[in-house]
A and B are shown apart, each in its own frame.
Chain A
Amino acid sequence: MSVIVKKIAQLISALIFVFGMYSAIHGHIAPGGGFAGGVLLSGAFILLIIAYGLDYFKLKQQTEATSIFESVSILIALLLAFSGLFAGSLYFFNNYLPPGTPGSLLSGGLIPVYNILIGIKVAATLSTIFFALIIYKEEIRR
C-alpha cells in the first residue's frame, strides 16, 4: 500500500479504537455495549493489518496472544459471575456492587465490568478469526 493509505489508516484506526473503547465503557447507559465496542476495537487492528501487510506485524505470535487474551477475559467474567454466589445471597451473576445513580458512568454495579470484559473478548476473538483466515495454518494429520 502507498504511504498515503498507510498514514490515513494509522490516523483513522486511532479514532476507531477510541470510539470502540467509549462504546464498550458506556454500554450500560447508551446504545452500544461490549459486543459493538469489541467489534470496533478489532476493526481498528484489522484496518492497520490490511494497510501495512502481514509481515509487518509478525502475526504468528499475535495469534497466540489474542487467543490467550480471549480465554483470560472470559475466565475473569466467569469468576466474577461465580463470586456472586459467595456475596450474600447464593445467586449466580449476582450484581453485588452498589447501583449508583441511574444514567451516570459509574452505575449499574458489575454490568460495566462485564461490558469491558466482553469488549476485550470480542476484540480478541474477531482478531483471532481474522488471523486464522489470512494465515491459514496447515495442520495435517501425521
Chain B
Amino acid sequence: MTLYILCFILFLIGIYGVLTRRNLIKIVISLTIMEFSVFLMLVLIGYISGGLAPLVVHPEGADISVVDPLPQTLVLTAAVIAVATNSMMLALAIRLYKKYGTFDIRKINELKG
C-alpha cells in the first residue's frame, strides 16, 4: 500500500509542476513525472509477489506463479507513446523559443482561450 501512496505523491508532484511552473521545458518535465507515476502504478498492480517472468520456457506443470504480461505490455506501449509526446512537445518548445525568444509562458500569450 505504501508503494501506491508513493506513486500518488509522485503524480501530485507532477500536477503541481504542470500547474505552477512558468517554463515550457519544466512543464514538459512535470508531465513526464506524471506519466512515470502512472506507469509505476500499472506495473505494481500487475505484479504478483514471487511471480516469474512470463516466458514459455518454464517447464510445463511446474508449481510456479507467473506475472501477467498484460500491464507490462501496456506500460511499454504507453512509454513509447510518452516518447512521442515528449519529442513533439520539445520540438514545439524549440519552435516557440525561436518565435518569441523566451520559454516563459507568461510572455507567450497571443491566444485568449
Contact = CB atoms under 8 A, between A and B. Distances in A.
B57 A35 contact: no
Given A102-B56, A103-B57, A35 B87 contact: no
Contacts of A102: 56-57
Nearest to A126: B83
Range, interface on chain A: 10 to 19
Contacts, number: 19
Interface residues of B, number: 12
A132 B57 contact: no
A35 B94 contact: no
A29 B90 contact: no
B80 interface: yes
Nearest to A104: B57
A133 B57 contact: no
Interface in A75-112: 102-103
B108 interface: no
Contact of B91 (A29, A35, A126, A132): A132
Given A35-B76, A35-B80, A133 B55 contact: no
Top 3 nearest A-B pairs by Cβ distance?
A103-B57, A129-B87, A102-B56
18 contacts: A29-B55, A29-B57, A31-B53, A35-B76, A35-B80, A102-B56, A102-B57, A103-B56, A103-B57, A126-B83, A129-B87, A129-B91, A132-B91, A133-B87, A133-B90, A133-B91, A133-B94, A136-B94
